[in-house]
Chain A
Amino acid sequence: MFIVKSPVEQTIELENNILVIKVYSPEISSEIKPGQFLNVRVSETYSPLLRRPFSVCDVEGDFIFLMFNVLGEGTKILAQKRKGETIDLLGPLGHGFNLDDDYQTAVIVAGGLGAAPFPYFVKKIPNDKRIISFVGGKTNNEVITYGLKNILISTDDGSLGFKGTVIDLLNDNLEILNKGKIKIFSCGPNAMLKAIKEFSIKNNYECEVSIESAMACGFGICQGCPVESTSNKEKYSLVCKDGPVFNVRDIVL
């Protein structure tokens, strides 16, 4: 774990108000794994006070990339960072995706900004595995395909790709999914993750999900990010330390 002030190299504007910020941080780029996250302090002032968690979006040499959209005070400040200005990174934090399991095809299921961790994931997936990406959104404005491969798209309103939810799209493609052993890797809104859990259990697929939570510290001391565990009713798991990536069967969504 490091706390480093890292200079911004560039901010890339994607479609639909999605931004990707490129930051020079050799300490973190050499250690971070897909699905791990950074707790980012965007300002030295007390406004905003807390760090904000961002999963690592991509890594290129000594640079790391974070994906976000401008939602509140923190992301507004982040969006205005110019080249050479620094942001304060704490990480790498948490547990990332387990890419080395016994499976032939990695099935990415991403909803909205849930696409954020997957560009780096796609890069790091072992060569002998295939990738299919299912990307969903309410409308075409929410569909993010940056850095993904072999993409199938769904929108609730049919404005882009398949009309329906991403789960409907998965159900529509069971034939493809059932060619060889698959493992689902998913990130997105909680309602989608709940549905993914049901879908994975029903079809007996392995599945890892990356979940979000409000948190303060990001490394286990504030106890602010509990998630109910299926194995131990007496104790919560922590999103920051035990996750943010969980086997979908281990947590209550």
Chain B
Amino acid sequence: MSKIDLSVTIGSLKLRNPVLLASGTVGYGNEMSEFIDLNKIGGIVTKSLSLKPRKGNSPQRIVETPAGMLNAIGLANVGVEVFLKEKIPFLKNYDVPLICNIAASSIEEYVECTKILTCEDTIKAFEINVSCPNVKEGGLQFGNDIHAVGKITEKVKACTNKPVIIKLSPNVSYISEFAKVVKEEGGDAVSAINTLVGTSFNIFTKRPKLHNVTGGLSGPAIKPVALAKVLEIKRLVDIPIIGIGGIMNWKDVVEFMIAGSSAIQIGTANFINPNAAEEIIKDLENYCTSYSIEKISELTGSYKI
């Protein structure tokens, strides 16, 4: 068993295995630590942080859909200052790569957040959320604007020497064009995909179920879309991809890696089974043993088309 090498690299970021916990599904680690051994996970991506605390959207924020869920949390978060003061000390107790997800409503705010956070040693990389569908300013406004995505990548890269990962929106015609701009502006990797815009109505009141009207669709329902987006990027752009979208078990991970992902993130599954990541890592090791795969990184982009 111990011969299997589960480690992967995302640019200069070395991970002990390809299984990360996705932003917004792991909080700042403390709740999840009651269920799983964070030291076994490939990495944690924090809840999106903004310069100032954000209250988030009014309820209702969650709707269950067939094999998925819509969320419109609205980037509720403690802000960078409280994060550094109150959340980082807990995370320092663990030997798990911490990736800070940053959300902002202006390019200046992205830069400001990165400058403040980059001084903290515990943070190993940044994931820049240019694609949240649930806030009025920033979010999708940037995610749909290829020049803005390029500019944000360039400006954030200029103020940190840590790897910068851009989390891309699937709500665009050609995601690979965005990945290409990220690469050109010096971005180290892309995360694909963020949630898909969706909505749901109460047929009796004719009102949308979400207070925000629309939300982001996640869960197994979006897996085929996410896989196609990962594949599109892999075929057209030479940049490491972190695959995200409805991963529930080890088979989904393997599928995402075959399609081109170097690593993956577990999102919605954490809500249903907070042990999912740990179980998946164990299962991946068994899979590699059974199929004589010495290095799991061999799977990345191993599709035969």
Contacts and interface: CB of A to CB of B under 8 A. Distances in A.
B56 A49 contact: no
A41 interface: yes
Contacts of B61: 214, 223-226
Contacts, number: 92
B245 to A, nearest CB: 14
Contacts of A1: 34-35
Interface in B22-67: 24-27, 31-32, 34-35, 47, 53, 55-56, 58-64, 66-67
A125 interface: no
A136 to B, nearest CB: 23
A234 interface: yes
Contacts of A49: 64, 67-69, 219-220, 268, 272
A219 B62 contact: no
B271 interface: yes
Given A50-B64, A236-B56, A220 B272 contact: no
A223 B73 contact: yes
Instruction: Say which size band chain B's interface belongs to.
Output: 35 or more
Given A50-B64, A213-B59, A224 B71 contact: yes
B141 interface: no
A223 B56 contact: yes
B144 to A, nearest CB: 24
A3 B271 CA distance: 12
A226 B32 contact: no
A234 B55 contact: yes
Given A3-B35, A227-B59, A234-B55, A222 B71 contact: yes
Nearest to A3: B275
B79 to A, nearest CB: 10
Chain B contact residues, majority secondary structure = loop
Interface string A196-222: 000000000000000001111101111
B198 to A, nearest CB: 14
Interface residues of A, number: 27
B62 A235 contact: no
B118 interface: no
A226 B31 contact: no
Given A216-B62, A226-B59, A227-B59, A221 B26 contact: yes
B266 to A, nearest CB: 12
B160 to A, nearest CB: 27
Contacts of B275: 3
A216 B215 CA distance: 14
Contacts of B105: none
B138 to A, nearest CB: 18
Given A3-B273, A50-B271, A221-B271, A226 B58 contact: yes
8 contacts: A49-B67, A51-B272, A219-B31, A222-B24, A222-B271, A223-B24, A226-B76, A235-B53
4 A-B pairs with the lowest CB-CB distances in the bound complex, closest first = A224-B62, A217-B271, A216-B271, A46-B67
Interface of A: 1, 3, 41, 46-51, 90, 213-217, 219-227, 234-236
Given A46-B248, A213-B60, A222-B71, 16 more contacts: A1-B34, A50-B69, A50-B272, A51-B272, A217-B270, A219-B31, A220-B31, A221-B271, A222-B73, A223-B47, A223-B73, A224-B61, A224-B73, A225-B61, A226-B59, A236-B76
